[in-house]
Amino acid sequence: MIETRDLWVRFGPLAAVRGLSLRAESGTWTALIGPNGAGKTSALRALAGLVAYDGEVRLDGRDARRLGRRSLARLVAFVPQKPETPPELTVAEYVLLGRTPHIPYLGREGRRDREAAARALRRLELERFAERPLGSLSGGELQRAVLARALAQEAPVLLLDEPTTALDLGRQQLVLELVDALRGDGLTVVTTLHDLTLAGQYAERLVLLDGGSVVAEGTAAEVLSAPNVAAHYGASVRVVEDDGGVFVLPLRR
Amino acid sequence: MAATAGSAEAVARVEARGVGLRAGLACVLFLLGALLVGLAVGPVHVGVGAIVRSGLAYVPFLHVHQPLDAIDRAVLWQLRAPRVALAALVGGMLAVAGASYQGVFRNPLADPYLLGVAGGAGLGATLAIVYASAAVAGTAWAVPLAAFAGAIAAVVATYALGRSAGAARTTGALVLAGVTVATFTAAVQTFVQQRHSDVLQNVYAWLLGGFSTATWSDVAVCAPYVAASSLVLVLHRRLLDVLSLGDDEAASLGVDVARARLAIVAAATLGTAAAVAVSGLIAFVGIIVPHTIRLLVSTSYRAVVPLSLLAGAGFLVLADVLARTVLSPAELPIGVVTAFFGAPFFAVVLRTSRGGA
Q: Give yes or no for B242 touching A (CB within 8 A).
A: yes
Mean pLDDT of A88-104: 94
- How far apart (Å, rounded) are the C-alpha atoms in residues B13 and B353? 26
How many angstroms away from the CA of A196 is the closest CA of chain B? 27
Is the distance from CB of B141 to CB of B161 less than 8 angstroms?
A: no
Q: Which of B302, B286, B288 is nearest to B244 (CA)?
A: B302
CB contact under 8 A, A84 and B245: yes
What is the phi/psi pair of residue A63, to 5°? -70, 120
CB contact under 8 A, B252 and A48: yes
Q: Give yes or no for A114 touching B (CB within 8 A).
A: yes
Is the distance from CB of A238 to CB of A224 less than 8 angstroms?
A: no
Residue B225 has pLDDT above 90, yes or no: yes
Nearest to A100 among B10, B255, B299 (CB): B255
Q: Give yes or no for A76 touching B (CB within 8 A).
A: yes
- How far apart (Å, rounded) are the C-alpha atoms in residues B56 and B73? 13
At B258-277, the pLDDT tens digits run 899 999 999 999 999 999 98
Residue B10 has pLDDT above 60, yes or no: no
Exposure class string for A162-173: b at 16+ Cβ within 10 A, else e: bbbeebeeebbe
Mean pLDDT of B200-205: 84
Query: What is the side-by-side strand order in the sheet with A29-33?
Result: A76-79, A157-161, A188-192, A29-33, A205-210, A213-218
Residue A143, Ramachandran bin (φ over 0: left; ψ between -120 and 50: alpha; else beta)? alpha
At B171-188, the pLDDT tens digits run 788 888 889 999 999 999
Strand, coil or helix: what is B303?
helix
Percentages helix, strand, coil for chain B (3-state, rounded to 5) are 75, 0, 25
pLDDT of residue B136: 58
Contacts of B235 in chain A (CB under 8 A): 106
Contacts of B13 in chain A (CB under 8 A): 92, 118, 127, 130-131
pLDDT of residue A79: 95
- Integer distance in angstroms from the first to the last C-alpha of chain B? 41
CB contact under 8 A, B14 and A97: no
For chain A, give the mean pLDDT: 93
Read off the pLDDT band of B208 (50, 70, 90): confident
CB contact under 8 A, B244 and A114: no
Q: Tell me which of B69 and B29 has the higher pLDDT.
A: B29
pLDDT of residue B3: 43
Mutate one of A75, A79, A89, A149 to test the B interface: name it (highest B CB count within 10 A).
A89
pLDDT of residue B5: 43
Question: Is the previous residue joined to B329 through a cis bond, with omega within 30 degrees of 0?
Answer: yes
Q: Give yes or no for A117 touching B (CB within 8 A).
A: yes
- How far apart (Å, rounded) are the C-alpha atoms in residues A108 and B57? 41
Q: CATH number of the domain at A1-60+156-224, please? A: 3.40.50.300
How many angstroms away from the CA of B306 is the closest CA of chain A? 15
**What residues contact B263, with CB distance under 8 A and at least 6 apart?**
B232, B236
pLDDT of residue B200: 84
Q: Give yes or no for A64 touching B (CB within 8 A).
A: no
Every domain of chain B and the residues it spans = 46-351
pLDDT of residue A244: 83
Every domain of chain A and the residues it spans = 1-60+156-224, 84-154
Read off the pLDDT band of B39 (50, 70, 90): very high
Residue B63 has pLDDT above 70, yes or no: yes
List the Cα angle A221/A224/A227 in 5-degree steps: 120
pLDDT of residue B101: 92
pLDDT of residue A156: 95
Q: Give yes or no for A19 touching B (CB within 8 A).
A: no
pLDDT of residue A63: 93
**What residues contact B289, with CB distance under 8 A and at least 6 apart?**
B91, B94, B95, B98, B99, B308, B311, B312, B315
Is the distance from CB of A7 to CB of A57 less than 8 angstroms?
A: yes
Range of B87-91, B124-128, B291-295 with top mean pLDDT: B87-91
Read off the pLDDT band of B202 (50, 70, 90): confident
CB contact under 8 A, B299 and A89: yes
Longest dimension (CA), chain B: 83
Q: Give yes or no for B298 touching A (CB within 8 A).
A: yes
Q: Give yes or no for B9 touching A (CB within 8 A).
A: no
Mutate one of B7, B9, B13, B14 to test the A interface: name it (highest A CB count within 10 A).
B14
Is the distance from CB of A7 to CB of A21 less than 8 angstroms?
A: yes
Domain B46-351 annotated CATH 1.10.3470.10: yes
Q: Give yes or no for B245 touching A (CB within 8 A).
A: yes
- How far apart (Å, rounded) are the C-alpha atoms in residues B232 and A55? 39
Entry pTM: 0.89
Q: Give yes or no for B169 touching A (CB within 8 A).
A: no
At A45-66, the pLDDT tens digits run 999 999 999 999 999 889 999 9
Paired with A56 in beta bridges are: A5
- Integer distance in angstroms from the first to the last C-alpha of chain A? 41
- How far apart (Å, rounded) are the C-alpha atoms in residues B225 and B269? 10
pLDDT of residue B210: 86
How many angstroms away from the CA of B93 is the closest CA of chain A? 20
**What residues contact B47, with CB distance under 8 A and at least 6 apart?**
B40
pLDDT of residue B167: 52
Q: Give yes or no for A48 touching B (CB within 8 A).
A: yes
Read off the pLDDT band of B355 (50, 70, 90): very low
Find the radius of gyration of the CA atoms of chain B: 22
Of A29-33, A216-220, B249-253, B343-347, the least confident = B343-347
How many angstroms away from the CA of B111 is the closest CA of chain A? 20
Mean pLDDT of B276-303: 90
Shortest CA distance from A159: residue in chain B: B252
CB contact under 8 A, B13 and A92: yes
pLDDT of residue A44: 96
Complex ipTM value: 0.91
pLDDT of residue B139: 59
Is the distance from CB of A161 to CB of A79 less than 8 angstroms?
A: yes
Size of interface A-B (CB pairs under 8 A): 98
At B297-334, the pLDDT tens digits run 888 999 999 999 999 999 999 999 999 998 878 888 88
pLDDT of residue B166: 64
- How far apart (Å, rounded) are the C-alpha atoms in residues B258 and B154? 19
At B116-175, the pLDDT tens digits run 888 899 999 899 888 876 555 555 678 888 999 999 999 999 988 888 876 555 678 888
CB contact under 8 A, A97 and B15: no
Q: Give yes or no for A150 touching B (CB within 8 A).
A: no
Element spanning A203, H or E: none
Q: Tell me which of B48 and A136 has the higher pLDDT.
A: A136
Nearest to B13 among A73, A76, A130 (CB): A130
Read off the pLDDT band of B4 (50, 70, 90): very low
At A116-149, the pLDDT tens digits run 999 999 988 899 999 999 999 998 899 999 999 9
For chain B, give the mean pLDDT: 87
